[in-house]
Amino acid sequence: MGEREIQRTYRGRATREEDAELDGPERAVVAAVYGQKDDDESRLAEFGALLDTAGAEVVEVVVQHRDRPEPRTYLGKGRLEELQLLVGDLEPNLVAVDGELTAGQQRHLEDRLKKRVVDRTGLILDIFALHASTAEGKLQVELAQLEYSYSRQEGLWQHLERLGGGVGTRGPGETQLESDRRMLRTRMGVLRRRLADVAKSRDVMRSRRLASDAPRIALAGYTNAGKSSLMNALTGAGVSTADALFETLDSTTRALELGPHRVLLSDTVGFVRDLPHELVEAFASTLDEVRDADLILHVADATEHWRTRDEQAAAVERTLDQIGAGDVPRLRVLNKVDACDAEGRADLGHENSDAVLVSARTGEGLDGLRARLLEVARGRLTPVDVLIPYARGELVSSVYASGREIEQEAEPEGTRMRALLPERAAAILLADLRNGSSSAVEHGGRPG
C-alpha cells in the first residue's frame, strides 16, 4: 500500500462535489447500546442529525439497554439477530453505531451483517472531512483519520498478517500489516511536519493578539448552538451559518468595538458528546484560541429541553478541561430565545440567573451581552488619576495614545488626567512621574 493509496483510502470524503454524485442520501440502520438512565430520544436525535449532516438518512433503529456493550459483538445475541433480519429486509447502505466500537467489534459486525459498519467516531471524522475547507483544516482531519485507522488496523484486517514475500522468500520477512503500518506512520509524520509549519504562522498571529491590550473572548459551545450566528451578529464576520453540525471548523477572530474599547472575539469548532480524542489532538493549535482566552462565552441552545441542555453543557465542560481551558472564566449565553414563548423565557431566566439570554437572529439581548463584554474590557485596564506637570506634555500624549475613557482638567500645577490604561502603560506612566517630577501623583481612581 503506497502513500497515495493511503491518502485515498483514509482521507474520507474530501469535497461536496464528490458527495453530489451520489443518487440521494445513503440509507442507514442505527444500532446503539444505552444505559438504563440514558435519554434515548435525545441521543438518537443527535446521532440522526450527525448522519443527516454526513449525507445519510435513518431508516430503522435498534437499541439495547445494558450496562456495557457485548465485548465481542457490541450487541447481545438477541438484538444482533434482530439487527441481522432488519438489514436483510431493508438492505441499507450502512449500519451506523452510536458508540465507539473496538476494531474487533466492527469486524464481527461486518462479518455478520455483510454491510459497512461505521461507529460514532468514524462518522464524526467523516463530517469533519466533509466540512474542512482550509489547507490546515484538511491536514488536521486527515491526520485524525489516519491515527484512528492506525490504531484499528490489526483488529480490522487480520488477513494483513500474511507475509509480504512469496515463493523463493525465506525467513520471516515483513508482514503486510507491518508494511502498511509503516506507510501510515510515514504519512502521519509528513502531516505533523506540515501542520507544524502552518502552526508557526498561526503562532505569529496569535502572539500579536496576546501582546495586544484587547481582551480575548472565545465562543465555545455544543455544535449547532448558534455560535457562528452570534459571531456574525456581533462583528459581521460572515462566518458560515448553515443548519448543520460542525459547519465551522476553522477558527475566526474579529475585533468587536465597544465604544472606546475593543475586544477580540474568536469562533472555533463546536463540541459534541464523546468528541473523538483524535480530533481534539489534531485541532490542538486551533483550540489554542479557547485556551488563551480571557473569557469563554459558553453558548447554549435555549430551545433544547433543560435536561438535554445540561448534558450538552457537561460535554462542553469536559472538552474544555481536556484542552486545558478548565480554569478560564465563563459567561453562559443562551441563544435562540426568539423561538421560546413567554413562559419558556421566564423559566430560562429563573433557572439561569447568571446567563445572558440572546437571539442572534433578531438581535434581542445583544446590547446586554455587549455590556457584559464591556465590563470585561474595562476590568482588564488600570484606573489612573494623575497630575502631570505642564513641562511633561509628552506624558499627556502617552495617556491619549493608550488610554480609554480619558478625562482631562487643567489645574495650577499641571494637567489632571483620569483614564483607564493597560497595566504596563500605567506602570510606565507612574514610574516616569516619580522619576522625573516631584509633583504629586495619585493612582487608583476610576474615570467616571
What are the extents of the domains in the chain? Answer: 1-211, 213-378, 381-443
Q: Residue 384 half-sphere exposure, CB side, CA atoms within 13 Å?
A: 33
pLDDT string in tens for the chain (448-residue length): 444 444 434 333 333 344 444 567 899 999 999 988 877 888 899 899 999 989 999 999 999 999 999 999 999 999 999 999 999 999 999 999 999 999 899 999 999 999 999 999 999 988 888 888 778 888 888 888 888 888 776 545 444 444 444 444 344 445 666 777 888 888 889 988 888 887 777 777 667 666 667 889 999 999 889 998 999 999 987 776 666 677 766 678 899 999 899 999 988 878 888 777 777 776 766 677 788 899 999 999 999 988 889 989 999 999 899 888 999 999 999 999 999 988 888 889 888 888 999 999 999 999 999 999 999 999 989 999 999 999 999 999 999 999 999 999 999 999 999 999 998 899 999 999 988 643 434 444 445 4
Residue 211 pLDDT = 62
Query: Would you state the pLDDT for residue 243?
Result: 66
Task: Yes or no: say if 356 and 333 are a contact pair by the CB < 8 Å rule.
Answer: yes
> At a CB cut-off of 8 Å and minimum separation 6, what does 341 contact?
none
Give the CB-side neighbour count of residue 427, counting CA atoms within 13 A: 3
User: What span, in angstroms and rounded, lies between the C-alpha atoms of 303 and 344?
Assistant: 9
Distances (CA, A) of 192 to 31, 101, 133, 187: 35, 26, 18, 9
pLDDT of residue 166: 42
Give the CA-trace dihedral at 299, 304, 305, 310, to 10 degrees. -30
C-alpha cell read off for 163: 507475509
Q: Does domain 1-211 have CATH number 3.30.300.30?
A: no
Beta bridge mates, 271 = 222
pLDDT of residue 144: 86
Predicted pLDDT of residue 23: 63
Pairwise CA distance, residues 26 & 181, whole Å: 31
Does domain 213-378 correspond to CATH entry 3.40.50.20?
Answer: no
Please name the fold of domain 381-443: Alpha-Beta Plaits (3.30.70)
| pTM over 0.85, yes/no | no
By residue count, the chain amounts to 448
pLDDT confidence of residue 206: 65
Same fold, 1-211 and 213-378: yes
